[in-house]
Amino acid sequence: MDKSEIDTPALIVDLDVMMRNIREMAKLARERDVKLRPHVKTHKVPEIAKIQVEEGGRGICVQKLGEAEVMAANGLNDIFITNEVVGQVKLSRLARLREQVDVYVAVDHPDNVSDLSRTMREQGLELGVYVDVDSGMHRTGVPPEKAPELAEAVSKSEGLYLVGIMAYEGHAGGPINREERISLINKAMEQTLLAVRLIRQRGIEVGEVSVGSSATVRYSSTFEGITEIQPGMYVFNDYYLVEREAATIDTCALHVLATVMSRPSPERGVVDAGSKTFHFDMNRYPIAVGIEGVEIVKFSEEHGWLILRGQAQEKIKLGDRLEFIPYHVCPCVNQFDILYGLRRDKVEKSWTIAARGKVT
Amino acid sequence: MDKSEIDTPALIVDLDVMMRNIREMAKLARERDVKLRPHVKTHKVPEIAKIQVEEGGRGICVQKLGEAEVMAANGLNDIFITNEVVGQVKLSRLARLREQVDVYVAVDHPDNVSDLSRTMREQGLELGVYVDVDSGMHRTGVPPEKAPELAEAVSKSEGLYLVGIMAYEGHAGGPINREERISLINKAMEQTLLAVRLIRQRGIEVGEVSVGSSATVRYSSTFEGITEIQPGMYVFNDYYLVEREAATIDTCALHVLATVMSRPSPERGVVDAGSKTFHFDMNRYPIAVGIEGVEIVKFSEEHGWLILRGQAQEKIKLGDRLEFIPYHVCPCVNQFDILYGLRRDKVEKSWTIAARGKVT
């Protein structure tokens, strides 16, 4: 199939750019001597997860049990759920999954440690656990001072063993100002390594020290003591990362292909892709590429409202197909069922986004 | 199945409240003597669309061809795509669909009229068309002054016939201030009825005059000359409509059920439902119901960040299940595969959201 035959809106991925992104991150991990666990919540496609593992990933990360189940069913067998798994229905699902593959979870609460332990004991299983340390994001996780207590609880719990700690510095990638980012990463790594020291002082071994988002990992992975990184967005990149100097327009592998479906006036247009296509979690719009003077300024659910400037006012016709880089690629991919992989203008792959919508 | 056995996050619908919402809108349409075409982009469930038709809808609205295909495949046969259908792949799909059911589209461009006409002619079909009039939203549509020209083009095009006009006043429901809303609806209805007069002055018959969102329809349907209304959100309602006096908390049929998965401090909590669950197109957070002192203040993709106040600080425990009313229900439903229909705490229905993600 040719690109021109793809109906819109559609997710299209430049396979050459994607492969280069995958290999560069694997190379960085090798050079820094850290384990790479790509976070597959970005693409949710088992086939891409397998490519990432083949190219140098030593396992994967997912954010949800449902994603882990899909990945396991498709042959992935070393899966870290970088999140707390809470509630009886999920614990039973987790036990069934643990029977099939190596799966790990994060914990930040002693009650959850007890529940996990009981579930695994009852099933005669052993589950690897990362203590979730809050290194400054203030979402989940325990502060470094409380990490030893939780690590000890895990170590002493039948059916569980301590893999190490996780300390996700997602907040540190936020600021567009470089100095602010670096400062937040420094503080986050300080807190992370403090947790490691405090746990070790209690005589408990810390195996993995897992950190890193695509926006921060090139710097956070340089800290002595970090053993594992979990970037996700780098596989495609997006405009969030471009603004934070972690990607360039040319390394953005994924575009949304859309059609101009209305041209109400010279300076206005509408494409057939809105908030149900791009998502809108960061309150920022996608960026048109390959053409000057086209800007999305508003969404309806199925409409992208365009302002056209300069030559674009004459150039853009009803039925034209435009390409956009999502501002935040992860929730955008999650809106679709299919991901088209292209080389030049030929569709080489048509992947099912098998873990799309796996929110439980 | 009992509510307590549903894994989270999940969409749960109170069937009694939903049925009451469906019947009240049907009653309003009967009283005003207008045709009700419920917009099913809100729920995307063919079974609910059928209930709406049985209870007094004379056909349905969809926003996308893909939604229309799903509805047609499930027995719905009178479908208005309230949107422009542009591009060769879509035109071929539209012709195939027209062979099976009565389907109608909106147009706002002469080139699209030509393309639709050629496609229908080639297939020996007749397609009903609504001229899309911009009544003040400034998205798609032609201004009233240009409506006669387009209506004439439709009327003269082989393979097409003019059903009437559509003039969606979605913008008018926006302001929270009641007087502003009323003022915008008045202006929109003035523009809509101007378009009707101008088309008729050219000797062209205007059948349907289709308007109305859930936020505006109770007022816009009172205008003499309106023949059809297309509200969607009323089936579930949401906090957007509550703020705009078109619903109350008690008439919000749909809740998101979520689990407290982290309790990092007395005043903080995290639920397992974030922007990939609720969506975030209006930059507003969902509202906790049934408990005081719980507020979502931030999203990550799979986390809802809670602030807890007052008694909630003691009451809310790890593993607790909370219910939220989405701020905007349509994109939220589109994040899920399953909709659970409950009476009291029993799951009576488990519907597949069959048109979820049908963005093409």
B8–A360 CB contact, under 8 Å: yes
Is residue B313 located within the same domain as residue B276? yes
A262–B84 CB contact, under 8 Å: yes
CATH number of the domain encompassing residue A128: 3.20.20.10
- Mean pLDDT across the stretch A216-239? 98
pLDDT at position B103 is 98
3 state SS for chain B: CEHHHCCCCEEEEEHHHHHHHHHHHHHHHHHHCCEECCECCCCCCHHHHHHHHHCCCCCEEECCHHHHHHHHHCCCCEEEEEEECCCHHHHHHHHHHHHHCEEEEEECCHHHHHHHHHHHHHHCCCEEEEEEECCCCCCCCECHHHHHHHHHHHHHCCCEEEEEEECCCHHHHCCCCHHHHHHHHHHHHHHHHHHHHHHHHCCCCCCEEEECCCCCHHHHCCCCCCCEECCCHHHCCCHHHHHCCCCCHHHCCEEEEEEEEEEEECCEEEECCCHHHHCCCCCCCCEEECCCCEEEEEECCCCEEEEECCCHHHHCCCCCEEEEECCCHHHHHCCCCEEEEEECCEEEEEEECCCCCCCC
Domain's final residue, options B183, B213, B236:
B236
Q: What is the pLDDT of residues B122-135, one digit of tens each?
A: 999 999 999 999 99
Is residue A192 located within the same domain as residue A317? no
Residues of B in contact with A279 (CB under 8 A): 275, 279-281
CA distances from A269 to B89, B108, B110, B230, B253 (A): 20, 12, 15, 24, 36
Q: The domain containing residue B321 runs over which residues?
A: 3-9+248-352
- In chain B, the number of structural domains is 2
CA distances from B161 to A3, B59, B76, B116, B151 (A): 33, 18, 21, 11, 9
pLDDT at position B47 is 98
Distance in angstroms (rounded) separating the CA atoms of residues A256 and A249: 14
Which residues are paired to A164 by β-bridges? A130, A208
Residues of B in contact with A285 (CB under 8 A): none
Give the nearest partner residue to B359 out of A9, A89, A261, using CB atoms.
Answer: A9
Is residue B173 located within the same domain as residue B321? no
A335–B359 CB contact, under 8 Å: yes
Distance in angstroms (rounded) separating the CA atoms of residues B8 and A353: 21
- Mean pLDDT across the stretch B299-326? 98
Q: What is the pLDDT of residues B329-353, one digit of tens each?
A: 999 999 999 999 999 999 999 999 9
- Among B166, B163, B87, B89, residue whose Cα is nearest residue B126: B163
A287 assigned to some structural domain: yes
pLDDT at position B74 is 98
Give the nearest partner residue to B359 out of A5, A93, A277, using CB atoms.
Answer: A277
Q: Is any Cβ of chain A less than 8 angstroms from the Cβ of B277?
A: yes
- Mean pLDDT across the stretch A167-195? 98
Is residue A96 located within the same domain as residue A181? yes
Share of chain A above pLDDT 90, in %: 100
Is residue A222 located within the same domain as residue A123? yes
- What is the secondary structure of A120-175 as a DSSP string? HHHHT--EEEEEEB-SS--SSSB-GGGHHHHHHHHHHSTTEEEEEEE---GGGG--
Residue B308 — very low, low, confident or very high, per pLDDT cuts 50/70/90? very high
A241 assigned to some structural domain: no
Report chain B's mean pLDDT, rounded to a whole number: 98
Is residue A102 located within the same domain as residue A47? yes
Q: How many Å lie between the alpha carbon of A7 and the closest alpha carbon of chain B?
A: 6
Q: Is any Cβ of chain B less than 8 angstroms from the Cβ of A352?
A: no
- Name the helix (H) or strand (E) containing A236: none
B84–A263 CB contact, under 8 Å: no
B140–A331 CB contact, under 8 Å: no
As given in the structure block, the two tokens for residue A151 are 């690590």
Q: How many Å lie between the alpha carbon of A334 and the closest alpha carbon of chain B?
A: 8
Is residue B32 located within the same domain as residue B175? yes
Cβ under 8 Å to B: A residues 27-66: 41, 63-64
Give the nearest partner residue to B330 out of A138, A261, A301, using CB atoms.
Answer: A301
CA-based torsion, B31, B37, B39, B43: positive or negative: positive
A360–B9 CB contact, under 8 Å: yes
pLDDT at position A335 is 98
Question: Is the previous residue joined to B175 through a cis bond, with omega within 30 degrees of 0?
Answer: no
A242 assigned to some structural domain: no
pLDDT at position B50 is 98
Is residue B185 located within the same domain as residue B225? yes
Asked if B166 and B224 count as a contact pair (C-beta separation under 8 A), the reply is: no
CA-based torsion, A322, A284, A180, A206: positive or negative: negative
Domain's final residue, options A207, A236, A265:
A236
Which residues are paired to B287 by β-bridges? B325
Q: How many CB pairs under 8 A join A and B?
A: 179
A360 assigned to some structural domain: no
Residues of A in contact with B63 (CB under 8 A): 301-302
Q: What is the pLDDT of residues B43-61, one digit of tens each?
A: 999 999 999 999 999 999 9
Is residue B216 located within the same domain as residue B262? no
Q: What is the pLDDT of residues B240-271, one digit of tens each?
A: 999 999 999 999 999 999 999 999 999 999 99
A328 assigned to some structural domain: yes
Distance in angstroms (rounded) separating the CA atoms of residues B142 and B109: 8
CB atoms within 10 A of CB B1: 12
pLDDT at position B290 is 95
Residues of B in contact with A108 (CB under 8 A): 262, 264
Task: Using DSSP, state whether A104 is helix, strand or coil.
Answer: strand
* H-assigned helices in A233-351: 239-243, 275-278, 312-315, 329-333
- Mean pLDDT across the stretch B31-36? 98
CATH number of the domain encompassing residue B337: 2.40.37.20
Asked if A117 and A157 count as a contact pair (C-beta separation under 8 A), the reply is: yes
Report chain A's mean pLDDT, rounded to a whole number: 98
B83–A281 CB contact, under 8 Å: no
Is residue B120 located within the same domain as residue B65? yes
A181 assigned to some structural domain: yes
Q: How many Å lie between the alpha carbon of B134 and the closest alpha carbon of chain A?
A: 9
- Mean pLDDT across the stretch A293-304? 98
Domain's final residue, options A171, A206, A236:
A236
Residues of A in contact with B275 (CB under 8 A): 279, 281, 331
- Mean pLDDT across the stretch A306-318? 98
- Mean pLDDT across the stretch A283-303? 98
A154 assigned to some structural domain: yes
Is residue A166 located within the same domain as residue A201? yes
Is residue B191 located within the same domain as residue B252? no
Cβ under 8 Å to A: B residues 97-136: 108-109, 111-112, 115, 134
A211 assigned to some structural domain: yes
pLDDT at position B37 is 98
Which residues are paired to A20 by β-bridges? none
pLDDT at position B233 is 98
Share of chain B above pLDDT 90, in %: 100
pLDDT at position A119 is 98
